[in-house]
Amino acid sequence: MMSVAVRRAHSGLGVLACLSAATLPLWLWVGTAHLAHWSGGEDAAAWRGVMGPWAGRLWSALAVVSLVGWGGYFPVDMPDGRSEWSTALTVGALGLLTWAVCGVPGWFWLAQVGHLPGGEVFGTATLALVPAVGALGVVICSVMFGQRQAGVIGGLASGALLLWVCGGWF
């Protein structure tokens, strides 16, 4: 039987799914319109040097902001008044999994449209999840200790730091 907290957390998953699914196609639409003057051409090097890395940074930044906002306010209180780590981790993993799975078509489209190697795109997508995992971890720990506002601020800060660190590898 699904716990009350996991059932109540489902309300935000639709928003996470829509944001994740729409981010990369919108980026590719805007990026292809401006690629010629951003990089001086529309060849394979421009796709590898501009579109791929910035897709990872944009998708990761939006993942941090949306997962921190969602995770900072999802309910983890159990009916008897106590909180459980297993529930918080389950709900957090559910949000992260929703974000990752709904972004797969956009990453596939990036590889197909930009003629990029699948391994390179998969590596960028995997690395783009690292800041979201770190930020959501900070939020879950803070929520479990009753510090939701500090969790949101700390989650955004840790996500920004991890995005800065990982952004050089995209």
Helices 118-128 and 52-71 cross at an angle (nearest 10°) of: 30
3-state secondary structure of 83: strand
Q: From residue 16, give the alpha-carbon distance in Å to each of 23, 42, 66, 101, 161.
A: 11, 32, 7, 11, 22
pLDDT by residue (tens digit) across 44-89? 777 888 888 899 999 999 999 999 998 888 766 555 555 578 778 8
* Alpha helix segments (H runs only) across the chain: 4-9, 13-39, 44-46, 52-71, 85-114, 118-128, 130-144, 148-167
Could you identify the residue written with the tokens 């907290």? 5
pLDDT beyond 60 at 28: yes
Is 126 within 8 Å of 45 (Cβ atoms)? no
Tell me which of 74 and 146 has the higher pLDDT. 146
pLDDT by residue (tens digit) across 119-135? 889 999 999 999 999 99
Q: What is the pLDDT of residue 12?
A: 81
Question: Percent of the chain at pLDDT above 90?
Answer: 39
Global pTM?
0.85
Q: How many CB atoms lie within 10 A of CB 15?
A: 13
- CA–CA distance, 167 with 170 (Å, rounded to integer): 5
Q: What is the pLDDT of residue 6?
A: 57
